[in-house]
């Protein structure tokens, strides 16, 4: 029984380490994009960079594939989030950070036809703005 618990403990520690590593990687990618495009928010390269970053992550790419999302979808959602959420709080910026979280990306792609205000409010509530 002790061997089983030891193996379970090691497995949980390994899972925790990989989950934290993935979270830190996505957070740093998000912050890098926020800083890079802080003064150039309408640059079309931003959408391509967001799409490339979320497709490089295992969990986020599954969501993108399950919703058949395209850069055009990301662009439309980004424009909606820019309308009501174009401000930064520390290292969070709703029009960018929202795409780097599993729950928020899932919500955005499921509700991509909703109005801009309700989408932005949902994202602001999630990120505690």
pLDDT tens, position by position, 27-80? 889 899 888 888 877 788 889 999 999 998 888 999 999 999 899 999 999 998
Token reading at 8: 């379970």
pLDDT of residue 65: 93
Percent of the chain at pLDDT > 70 equals 100
What's the predicted TM-score (pTM) here?
0.79
Give the burial class of 119: count Cβ atoms within 10 A of its Cβ; 0-12 exposed, 13-18 middle, 19 or more buried.
buried
Q: Averaged over 79-103, what is the pLDDT?
A: 85
Share of the chain above pLDDT 90, in %: 35
Specify burial of residue 85 (Cβ count, 10 A radius: 0-12, 13-18, 19+): buried
């Amino acid at each position: 029984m002790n061997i089983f618990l030891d193996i379970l403990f090691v497995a949980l520690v390994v899972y925790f380490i990989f989950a934290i590593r993935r979270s830190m990687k996505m957070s740093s990618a998000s912050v890098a994009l926020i800083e890079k495009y802080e003064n150039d928010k309408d640059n079309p390269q931003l959408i391509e960079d967001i799409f490339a970053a979320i497709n490089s992550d295992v969990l986020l790419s599954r969501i993108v594939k399950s919703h058949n999302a395209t850069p055009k979808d990301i662009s439309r959602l980004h424009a909606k989030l820019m309308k009501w959420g174009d401000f930064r709080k520390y290292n969070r910026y709703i029009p960018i950070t929202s795409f780097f979280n599993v729950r928020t990306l899932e919500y955005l792609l499921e509700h991509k036809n909703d109005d801009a205000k309700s989408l932005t409010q949902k994202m602001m509530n999630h990120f505690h703005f």
